[in-house]
Amino acid sequence: MAWSTFKNDCLLTSWEDLSLKHGSVIPGIWYVLGVVDAHPIFDEVGTASAMEAEWNEIAAGNEITNGIGGVLSAVRRMLGRPDQSFGITPLLVFRKMPANRNGSQEFMQKEMADLEGPPPA
């Protein structure tokens, strides 16, 4: 799974407008071309918080930097990238569109079939 944020000044339509029109899911199959800039956080036993705590310990300096590191880690876990996700910086986000309005249901069915792959022989 990949996680990302979008800058408002890089969108043709604001995120607020998209949210009010579509809610939490915008229909269609979306494609993203981007730069992977964060990897999932796991240690040898698969524990995310232990690995992050180790990184915070390496960066430890004094009580202020220790506190800031803990707060930033907590904010990321609550509002940001999940531990098991890659982080990406999107360069291009797009979806294919049908040639006309009447073909949109057939178009979506074909798109979904293409994602699932060829039927078993």
Q: What is the reported pTM?
A: 0.59
CA proximity to 29, closest of 120, 91, 98, 102: 98
Instruction: Give the pLDDT mean for 19-29.
Output: 85
Quick check: helix, strand or coil at residue 101?
A: helix
Q: Which residues pair with 31 in a beta bridge?
A: 94
Quick check: helix, strand or coil at residue 16?
A: helix
- Across 71-75, 98-102, 107-111, which has the greatest mean pLDDT? 71-75
Compare 113 and 13 and report the one with higher pLDDT: 13
Instruction: Give the pLDDT mean for 107-114.
Output: 74
51 pLDDT above the threshold of 70: no
At residue 52 the predicted structure's pLDDT band, cuts being 50, 70 and 90, is low
99 pLDDT above the threshold of 80: no
Transcribe 70-85 into DSSP letters.
HHHHHHHHHHS--TTS
Gap between the Cα atoms of 33 and 60, Å rounded:
35
At residue 91 the predicted structure's pLDDT band, cuts being 50, 70 and 90, is very high
What's the pLDDT at 16? 87
What's the pLDDT at 33? 94
